[in-house]
Amino acid sequence: MIRVSVDPAPIDIGSELAGIEETRAGAVASFTGVVRADDGVTGMELEHYPGMTEAVLCDLAEQAMTRWQLLSAVIVHRVGPMVPGDRVVLVATAAAHRREALDACAFLIDRLKTEAPFWKRETRDGQASWVAARASDDQAAARWAGPEGKPD
């Protein structure tokens, strides 16, 4: 099962994880990204390319399902204005064993950061500015280029 959602509504982690646990997998791994308040950030806004964003996220989930023996992959991403403490993204995977669930979850969040068409603007001291891509995100995504998508 693959579930992808891009929506301005708050993310209900309990509901999402309950849904993935219905697969009766032996392992469920998840990652939740939250708006940070460091460096004086008072707000963040995410924009995306509707239709294309969902297609990219579905493709990533399909890659994970193929590379690992997953029972489920869920990606829920929020868009629009947010404040520190708000949940931005939930990635969850379910598999028979923990290693597959954990690796697939890490793969999805690393690749999502570099491949999904999102644009982030942060507000500090009343001034909004676009956030540039980070080399560290590219390095994290590149580690999955090894055989069968496993880390090198």
Reference 16, options 28, 34, 26; nearest CA is: 28
Report all structural domains of the chain as residue ranges with CATH numbers, in order of start. 2-144 (3.90.1170.40)
pLDDT band at 152 (very low <50, low <70, confident <90, very high): very low
Distance, CA of 104 to CA of 20 (rounded, Å): 14
- Report yes or no on whether pTM surpasses 0.85: yes
Give per-residue pLDDT as tens, 72-99: 999 999 999 999 999 999 999 999 999 9
Reference 77, options 122, 106, 46; nearest CA is: 46
Mean pLDDT of 10-34: 93
Give per-residue pLDDT as tens, 36-77: 888 889 999 999 999 999 999 999 999 999 999 999 999 999
